[in-house]
Structure 1
């Protein structure tokens, strides 16, 4: 124990000061806080590697086989059709709602000269497409190859991201919408982008 704690206040006129052992942790805490403020936010570096393909960028080309065995390539629509490319988990209420909303909007999108392509995180998309009467290609992407190509981020590091891209006839990304929960907004945002392209 420090001598400061065993000398009685009655034997000295000098007020006892807190020992250095007591003051030091406060100083160390202040220094720690100062260093913490100087550091970058947690995971800032990690976030920089998850930058999605942005508006105005050339959309990465791909050729994949959909759940029905048909070859689907982005370049095949070049010069003839706009493309609405959306990524989803492919299972669960949110994905069903999103896909059915795109199904219901398919005719409106066709009038805007657009082709819908879905990318699912599931390995088998045949039953999902049949059960929900989806009139467009659904590409299985269980290994995440297309997600990596388009740099689609996951949600909280757990759920496959839900992102919709609108790509014009020249292969340029005209709209990017990223939301795990606002499924209806994927359709309205894509529709607005297609109408802007048509002007």
Structure 2
């Protein structure tokens, strides 16, 4: 509903999807090792959806998405690798300790830029852009689910999830995966 199908600079980029990650307390080892969450309101106009005053909404439609693609790309290529470096340092691990990076699926060139800057092989980055496009906030949960289904995530792996979006905002989390592989959970 917010994609402007006449805006060729954005309409071809986005897919449709839904995803969620459920967290729960556990006595098992593993869990969140570190996290960062940042925002910079100076870039609020680079990626946004115009909305009417909420007090006046009463059935009016929301505005369409606007993205200044070049500036968002520059922003993303700066914050993705910085965030990965910060969460690994805060977690007390090195970049080489990372088993898998599950990034927001916005643009493959952003992932390539991060891999190059971090000197990490692209095989450590989960990517499904070729199948779904950018599914916005659903992209990390969808990519994680697929990585689990493909057997790419194992107990005690160090995972980094990293995302960015409107506002401008960005976040990353480093976790040590504490759940056995699905085949072990089901007793197979």
Same topology, TM > 0.5: no
- The TM tier, using the shorter chain, reads 0.3 to 0.5
More contact order relative to length (CA 8 Å, sep ≥ 6): 2
- Compare CA radii of gyration and give the structure with the larger one: 1
Please report the TM-score for the alignment, with normalisation by the length of structure 2: 0.32
